[in-house]
Amino acid sequence: MYNIFKKHRRWRLITAILSLSLLTVMAGAAVAPALGLIREHFADTDTGLVQMIVSMPAIFIALPNLFLYKPLCKRFRARTLLLIGLTLYTVFGCAAGLFSSIAMILICRALVGVGVGIIMPLSTGLLSFYFTKDKQGPLMGYSSALNMLGGVVATLIAGGLAMISWRLSFMVYLLGFISIALCLIWMPNDRIYDSRQASPGGGLVKQYAPYIIVMFFLSFTFFVYPASFALEYSKSGAIPQGLIAPVMAMMDVFGFVGGLAFSSISKSIKKGARFITPVLFIISYVFLGILGGAAGILIGSAFVGVANGIGVPFIMTSASAKAGKDAATTVMPLISAALYLAQFMTPVILSAAGRILSVNSFVIALATAVLLAAVSLSISEEL
């Protein structure tokens, strides 16, 4: 990873773009270690509403990608768009900790989602816009790795701050100022919208449907972990509250490793690459949902991270290869919408399935990992 920064003549641009990947996972999951404490503060509030503190940004990330992204790209250039998104992300991310009303907290979380809805497709799409195909695979892997690294940093900071006060955990969004500074200094303000592109509607949805569906299942299977981990284990006492944030951060560390290894793995495993992530998820949730125990929690958490670290760049790179230079304004908004729609739907599906089946969340994730393997048959393995 160091070599690409050292050798590439556009290392400043790479740094600015990849800094965005440090932030996107923080949209919801950063404050996940504080959910148990927030639930105690809002003891009279339905647990589903508390879980929506993690998932609320997701639906408002999906909506701009589906309906607002094209008009915004027509109106604004890339750097301007990023600064709008980063400002919403940073200001309202921090503001959520100021309120004692669950409704106001969720409104702030929604506005964070709007900000990430602008940032997310650009964080990967600009790699396709500015760099050739041979550079995109490694850069997508680094993007995924930094996404998970951002999760490590955010989880540890938010978890530490939550031990002082759950309100302080939202101050982790001050990290957004780093990307604001880098974008102001090193990001060109190019126009990325091509008026000849098809609308991001029916035609594009049909064209990229396999990638959209696979991303939805992958994201749901992953987001079961941050949505449920703190609640499951603070309730059962399987691990102490003080260790929840470090274990979740460990998962992100393994996701970081998976992202760094993506390029090498995809080159060495040509046939069957699309099944690596489903198999890793199946292993992870067998440990978390069935075997349990301290060892099962640690091993399962590690496999969740690696699975996500490899799976996301695989889908992004495959779809980008098909879309070409226009990926930032065609397929990436749709894939981003699928990713965050899955995050939003995760607590809803878990709540409904849990009542019907009376099983823990990780067993449900095991079932969706099997479904992910099935739907992965529909996408190409060529990068």
How much is the pLDDT for 49?
Answer: 82
Stronger pLDDT, 48 or 114, i.e. the higher one: 114
Where b means 16+ CB within 10 Å and e means fewer, 161-183 reads bbeeebbbbbbbbebbeebbebb
The model's pLDDT over 232-265, given as tens digits with 9 standing for 90+, comes to 776 666 777 778 878 887 887 888 888 888 877 7
- pLDDT class for 367, splitting at 50, 70, 90? very high
Stronger pLDDT, 134 or 190, i.e. the higher one: 190
Q: Does pLDDT of 200 surpass 50?
A: no
**CATH for 2-378, options being 1.20.1250.20, 1.20.810.10, 1.10.3720.10, 1.10.357.10:** 1.20.1250.20
Q: Taking residues 283-302, what's their average pLDDT?
A: 88
CA-CA distances (angstroms) from residue 339 to 55, 56, 187, 282, 336? 12, 13, 26, 19, 5
How much is the pLDDT for 258?
Answer: 87
Q: Taking residues 140-162, what's their average pLDDT?
A: 81
How much is the pLDDT for 3?
Answer: 54
Question: Structure tokens of 206?
Answer: 């049909």
CA dihedral in degrees (256, 28, 342, 350; nearest 10)? 110
Which runs of consecutive H residues, i.e. helices, occur in the chain?
Answer: 2-7, 11-24, 26-29, 35-41, 47-63, 69-75, 78-95, 102-130, 133-162, 176-186, 202-207, 209-236, 241-268, 276-286, 293-323, 331-357, 361-375
How much is the pLDDT for 271?
Answer: 64
Q: Does pLDDT of 190 surpass 70?
A: yes
Q: Taking residues 375-380, what's their average pLDDT?
A: 80
Stronger pLDDT, 196 or 205, i.e. the higher one: 205
Stronger pLDDT, 229 or 365, i.e. the higher one: 365
Q: Does pLDDT of 1 surpass 80?
A: no
Q: Does pLDDT of 5 surpass 60?
A: no
The model's pLDDT over 276-292, given as tens digits with 9 standing for 90+, comes to 899 999 999 999 888 87
Q: What is the pTM of this model?
A: 0.76
The model's pLDDT over 320-337, given as tens digits with 9 standing for 90+, comes to 777 776 776 778 888 888
Considering only 188-197, 205-214, 312-321, which range has the smallest mean pLDDT? 188-197
Q: Taking residues 146-175, what's their average pLDDT?
A: 85
- pLDDT class for 179, splitting at 50, 70, 90? very high
Considering only 206-210, 268-272, 273-277, 295-299, which range has the smallest mean pLDDT? 268-272
Other C-beta atoms closer than 10 Å to the C-beta of 188 total 12
Please tell me the distance from the alpha carbon of residue 277 to that of residue 298, in angstroms, as a whole number: 18
Q: Taking residues 183-211, what's their average pLDDT?
A: 74
- pLDDT class for 380, splitting at 50, 70, 90? low
Q: Does pLDDT of 221 surpass 90?
A: yes
Handedness of CA 303, 245, 123, 73 (dihedral sign): positive
The model's pLDDT over 69-112, given as tens digits with 9 standing for 90+, comes to 778 878 888 899 999 999 999 999 999 999 988 899 999 999 99
How much is the pLDDT for 282?
Answer: 94
Stronger pLDDT, 300 or 9, i.e. the higher one: 300
CA dihedral in degrees (382, 321, 346, 225; nearest 10)? 60
Considering only 12-16, 358-362, 365-369, which range has the smallest mean pLDDT? 358-362
